Chain A
Amino acid sequence: MIEISHLTKTFDGFTAIDDLSFTVEEGEVLGFLGPNGAGKSTTMKIITGFLGASSGSVTVHGHDIATDPLAVKSLIGYLPEGAPSYPDMTVMEFLEFIAAVRGFSGEEKKRRIAKVVREVELGEVCHKTIDTLSKGFKRRVGLAQAIIHDPKVLILDEPTDGLDPNQKHQVRQLIRDLARDRIVVISTHILEEVSAVCTRAIIIAAGRIVADGTPKELEARSHLFGAVSIQLTQDFDLAAALEGVEEVADIEPSDEERRRFIIIPVPGKQIFSKVLDRVQSEHWPVAEFHLVEGLLEHFFRSVTSQGAASQPGTSRGARASRQSANQQQG
């Protein structure tokens, strides 16, 4: 278990992390999200013992990082931001170094290296100098060194950044496999990844937690939860056509495409099938009709963008929006 309590970190008077508290249990895959500069990497650096906290404490399986750093460091596998590794070494030499420091030797060391080389598919670059590897391969080397000792706690700072789609898939699968009886904390800017692998997500902004829950829960908190996206083939008075459907709270024109509208339900209500019924029975000129996707991203934006605090979700009056929908068509 990782227990973080009232963690604060200041750099020359600038507060990067502000009184952060949370715990992570075995079996959890925690997605650590937040805009650039939110303090994700800084938090990870403190958990792994690279930086000291200004105040507050971090314990991993009962060991305090400040007083018993070696015990914590032995438990953790860590991929630092940017996946640094010694550029003059070959991949093999580097992994041997890490394995040796982690206390392996002889057959056991060979076996472990062979295993991670297989798991992150490093076979073809084993004897290349790290310096000459492409960005994605460097990242894979970083991943390999992080998992070589089967760590109880895995902390990965943007593990899939720079990987090709096949590798992304592979690494996500790897994380899911590893997760069983371990703790995995990943930071990422790819929100589908969170829905795909994380059992829990924490969003931080300016060093504070602004949301904490399962990806599903956070999606449900988006004001677009249950909303329907509709693409019309010709001008059509959507507002008039939806008159009398009480569950509809709002109709917003999409800012991405012409004649696409987002129909937003009253919180807690379902509108999909009701609206679909009308589309079919009244023969609306519709090219596309589906639930709004990327809810986590909408939620992320609503809690982390400027002025998010004063305006959680956009809830303009239904009437005003219906009018704007009309105007678009005119």
Chain B
Amino acid sequence: MKNMGIIFKRELAGYFATPLAYVFIVIFLVMSGIFTFDMGGFYVRGQADLMPFFSFHPWLYLFMIPAIAMGLWADERKSGTIELLMTLPVTLSDAVLGKFLAAWALSGVALLLTFPIWITVNYLGDPDNGVIVAAYLGSWLMAGGFLAIGSCMSAMTRNSVIAFILTVAICFVFVASGTEIILNALRWAPQILIDAVAALSFLTHFDSISKGVLDLRDILFFVIFIGSWLFASAIVIEIKKAN
């Protein structure tokens, strides 16, 4: 546990020692602004809420999160530091969790820095701030889901570009499976299958959280989802070691 904290700190400091963290945060903020105020019709809707802001998050994350996840393990493998890390007295779970949490914290920082948008909407109207808090939480959980997939993909290869592409592809599946297009295309299938596909989608769970409905099941979905992909990351690393 203590070592997890040490790894977490090193990783987080690593993001800020390079331009990566700053580039990520700036791009994230700029994109959020464009999506919300310009494309999201923030003013046109005439409603005091952050729906346009949050509804773009899955699509924003689809490209942004894999960019921070891709290096998690691939870079360590490429530079050989994985040999250093894995021969230190740290457990595999310390390493997997410490790295994941650092990346998750970075995405959390980026998310928190969107607070001017929140202030704006409070200035312009009288939004339900409880819903907004729930949506922020949901968005962060979703970012964790994307990151956990990215962790696993990054563990598979020493090439971070490949890790990026794989992560985008898999994340896309988990986002798109909740869209009308996919669900309509599945109309021929038994209802139970459609429900299962929808239930695995980020969109389904994120939508309900961001409407302010903090259902334990939606939160559990993300927690279990993250846990499973991190577990898969550990297994991949273990398999690579034996190979």
CB within 8 Å of B: which residues of A? 11, 45, 48-52, 70, 73-74, 76, 78, 80-82, 84-89, 93, 97-98, 100-103, 145
Contact = CB atoms under 8 A, between A and B. Distances in A.
A161 B6 CA distance: 31
Contacts, number: 62
A215 B52 CA distance: 75
Interface in B66-92: 79-81, 83-84, 86-91
B66 to A, nearest CB: 21
A102 B81 CA distance: 16
A277 to B, nearest CB: 58
27 contacts: A11-B243, A45-B83, A48-B87, A49-B86, A50-B83, A50-B86, A70-B89, A70-B91, A73-B88, A73-B89, A76-B87, A78-B87, A80-B83, A80-B84, A84-B79, A84-B81, A84-B83, A87-B79, A88-B14, A88-B17, A89-B10, A89-B14, A93-B13, A97-B10, A98-B88, A101-B7, A102-B89
Q: Secondary structure of the A side of the interface? A: loop
Contact of A52 (B14, B81, B90, B242): B242
Given A52-B242, A97-B10, A101-B6, A85 B84 contact: yes
A86 B86 contact: no
A100 B87 contact: no
Nearest to A79: B84
B232 to A, nearest CB: 19
Interface string B1-42: 001001100100110011000000000000000000000000
Given A50-B241, A93-B13, A85 B81 contact: yes
Given A70-B89, A73-B87, A101-B88, A80 B6 contact: no
A141 B3 CA distance: 21
Given A86-B81, A101-B3, A101-B6, A80 B87 contact: yes
